Amino acid sequence: MIMRMSSLFVRTLREDPADAEVPSHKLLVRAGYIRRAAPGIYTWLPLGLKVLRKIEDIIREEMNAIGAQELSFPALLPREPYEATNRWTEYGDGIFRLQDRKGADYLLGPTHEEMFTLVVKDLYSSYKDLPLSIYQIQTKYRDEARPRAGLLRGREFVMKDSYSFDVDDAGLENSYQAHRNAYIRIFDRLGFEYVIVEAMSGAMGGSKSEEFLATATVGEDTYVRCSLCDYAANVEAVHSPPIAAVPYDDAPAAHAEQTPDTPTIDTLVDHLNEKFARDDRPWTAADTLKNVLFTVKHPDGTVEALAVGLPGDREVDDKRLEAHLGEGVEFAPFGDDDFKSRPTLAKGYIGPGALGEKKPAGVRYLVDPRVVEGTRWVTGADTPGSHVIDLVAGRDFSADGIIEVAEVRDGDPCPRGDGGVLESARGIEMGHIFQLGRKYADALDLKVLDENGKLVTVTMGSYGVGPSRAVAAIAEGTHDELGLAWPREVAPADVHIVAAGKDEAIFAAAERVAHELDKQGIEVLYDDRAGKISPGVKFKDAELIGVPTIVVVGKGLAEGTIEVKDRASGTSEQVPADHVVDHVVRVVRA
């Protein structure tokens, strides 16, 4: 079927929408692909829906190719299964909750682990039924704190989520690899640049996890790559390389010193160099142990105080802290009232002496992994105007645990210890695969009989990719200053034919080309608008809409030629009118 601009339900706009920050959002609205219905909620217009469906179809084909079977769950879900896994609470404000007329609680599904687990439990009971992979392509709802950038972070969005079910870990590893390979094929076909990075498993629990990120400066995810090896990881998941304990037999005893007016690391380092100069080198911020305090509120309402101890030359990275604390956990830096209620804490001079779950202040104390046994630190002496020097970890203090939330910097060593250094870049999370393990099967009691007739808990994987986010991410990665420029596999049409001129002959020729291409199975968008719409306006629209091949039937027709343009590169050639259909078919099928 030929799409005709004269009747297509589309209005292109010359002005950027006022609420759009990133190019993909501006262009998708201007080119008539989507309209905003509410913050983070969009209506798909015909062109947009075409692109979305093509992306979904690519995903569907590759999922089917690994033997995964499609089904579809409701979006409106009962509370009980989410209660059983504690996610009704853990999600906090992140989900939409509602009640029916009888007062029963429901939610709009943010992701469907519970429902998939339960349906398998309903129907299967033997190892002979496994392995199994099932998936859906379905609308999800999350009340995102910061819906932004149009489709990139919506509150209603489309997700393909699949889940694998296996009897043992080796089976899970196989299912995971099959999905990983399918994702590689999907992203290769979608036609944009991406990287696969190690990821945190976040609130989902479980172990191994990787993300597929579209490389994009507007991305919200920061990832790092090693300058030498193939290590790549989301910043939230980066671990520092293991550090060996340092011998400390010769270390002097810790000594408290007067350091008046040194509440910040800079003032402290200056003071140390002035009053306690070292023989070997000057003191630096990395010699100091900084303790940063937070109030942490868990989804069940409990509140705790947390101190993070880290080298003074680094800050706590909020995103890393958020990822480590988990979904629905809120945190804020200590305020005046928090200090007031804990008189043993001397603001600006807090040290390990006052920190720890068992100390009077009752602050859980977690330290950066660089604080290994035997390392020597300058840190607060827990009295205003005083610091301790030569405080040795493992000898003079110990923490309640380790936490990896210090900022990661360009130039930090690669965790694989190969001598390479980390470099950072930004990306958009497009897909996420992970080995859930038995978390959901345990919570919902999904067991099957194994070969020996013994009941075993099933192990699961979960694999998500966002087709609606992909629409925006692909637009983001492929647009230029003129408009959208779709990769062929996802474009709303194969060719955009422009009838440029007023003559009957031009319209007749354009119409003929459109029909012949359509007959050959080529998807045609035909700008057949007559009357006051000038060729200039039509060209601008074609560039904005971004179909990969533009065919201009215009002035050249008098000399028997038709122009065929490549939208992305801007190159064009004059093709004899008689050959134009064959030529375009070849270009499209290349």
Residues that bind ligand ATP (CB under 6 A): 111, 142, 144, 153-154, 157, 159, 429-432, 464-466, 468-469
Cβ within 8 Å of residue 28, ≥6 positions away: 34, 48, 150, 151, 471, 472, 475, 484
Minimum distance between the CB of residue 199 and Mg ion, rounded to whole angstroms?
7
Closer CB to ligand ATP, 23 or 548, in the complex: 23
Q: Which is nearer to ligand ATP, 30 or 142 (CB)?
A: 142
> Shortest distance, CB of residue 464 to Mg ion, whole angstroms?
7
Q: Pick the closer one to ligand ATP by CB: 222 or 291.
A: 222
Give the containing element (helix H, strand E) for 172. Answer: helix 169-190
Backbone angles phi, psi at 529, to 5 degrees: -65, 130
Nearest residue to ligand ATP, using CB? 466
Q: 327 or 503, CB closer to Mg ion?
A: 327
Helices and strands (H, E) in the chain, number of each type: 14, 30
* Least separation in angstroms between CB 316 and ligand ATP: 19
Q: To the nearest whole angstrom, how small is the minimum distance from the Cβ of residue 113 to Mg ion?
A: 13
CA distance linking residue 38 with residue 489, whole number of Å: 30
Binding at 431: pick from Mg ion, ligand ATP, none (beta carbon under 5-8 Å per type):
ligand ATP
Which strand (E) or helix (H) includes residue 457?
strand 455-457
When asked if residue 432 is in the footprint of Mg ion (CB under 5 A), the reply is yes
- Span near Mg ion by CB under 5 A; candidates 238-246, 329-337, 426-434, 528-536: 426-434
CA 484 to chain centre: 23
CA dihedral (10, 14, 18, 20) positive or negative: positive
CA distance 124 to 447: 9
Q: Which one of Mg ion, ligand ATP, none interacts with residue 466, CB within 5 to 8 A by kind?
A: ligand ATP
Check: CB of residue 200 under 8 Å from CB of residue 237: yes
Interaction partner, residue 153 (ligand ATP, Mg ion, none; CB < 5-8 Å by kind): ligand ATP
Of Mg ion, ligand ATP, none, which one sits near residue 330, judging by CB under 5 to 8 A according to partner kind? none
Which C-beta is closer to ligand ATP: that of 95 or that of 268? 95
For ligand ATP, give the closer residue by CB, 161 or 382. 161
- Cβ neighbors of 255 (< 8 A, separation 6 or more) are 388, 389, 390
Q: Minimal distance in Å, beta carbon 429 to Mg ion?
A: 6
3-state DSSP helix/strand/coil % of the chain, to nearest 5: 30, 30, 40
439 binds Mg ion (CB under 5 A): no
Give DSSP secondary structure letters for 507-556. Answer: HHHHHHHHHHHHHTT--EEEE---TT--HHHHHHHHHHHT-SEEEEESGG
CA distances from 185 to 158, 301, 408, 432 (A): 20, 44, 31, 15
Site membership for Mg ion, residue 54 (CB under 5 A): no
Hunting for tokens 């100091």 — which residue is that?
A: 288
Query: Shortest Cβ contact with Mg ion: which residue?
Result: 432
Residue (7 or 72) nearer to ligand ATP, CB: 72
- Contacts (CB under 5 A) with Mg ion, residues 141-160: none
State the Cα–Cα distance between residues 269 and 281, nearest whole angstrom: 12
Structural tokens at position 84? 């059983």
Nearest CA to 158 among 231, 51, 244?
51
Shortest distance (Å) from residue 429 CB to ligand ATP:
4
Which partner, Mg ion, ligand ATP, none, binds residue 24 by CB below 5 to 8 Å per kind? Answer: none
List the single partner that 314 binds among Mg ion, ligand ATP, none, CB under 5 to 8 Å by kind: none
List the single partner that 342 binds among ligand ATP, Mg ion, none, CB under 5 to 8 Å by kind: none
Confirm if 114 and 86 have CB atoms less than 8 A apart.
no
Structure tokens, 86: 């504690």
Nearer to ligand ATP, 190 or 564 (CB): 190
Strands 289-297 and 303-311 turn out to be antiparallel
Q: How far is the CB of 153 from ligand ATP (least distance, A)?
A: 4
- Nearest distance from residue 510's CB to ligand ATP, in Å? 38
158 versus 414: smaller Cβ distance to ligand ATP: 158
Residue 567 CB, nearest approach to ligand ATP (Å): 26
Shortest gap between Cβ of 235 and ligand ATP (angstroms)? 12
Q: Which partner, ligand ATP, Mg ion, none, binds residue 162 by CB below 5 to 8 Å per kind?
A: none
- Where do contacts with Mg ion occur on this chain (CB under 5 A)? 432
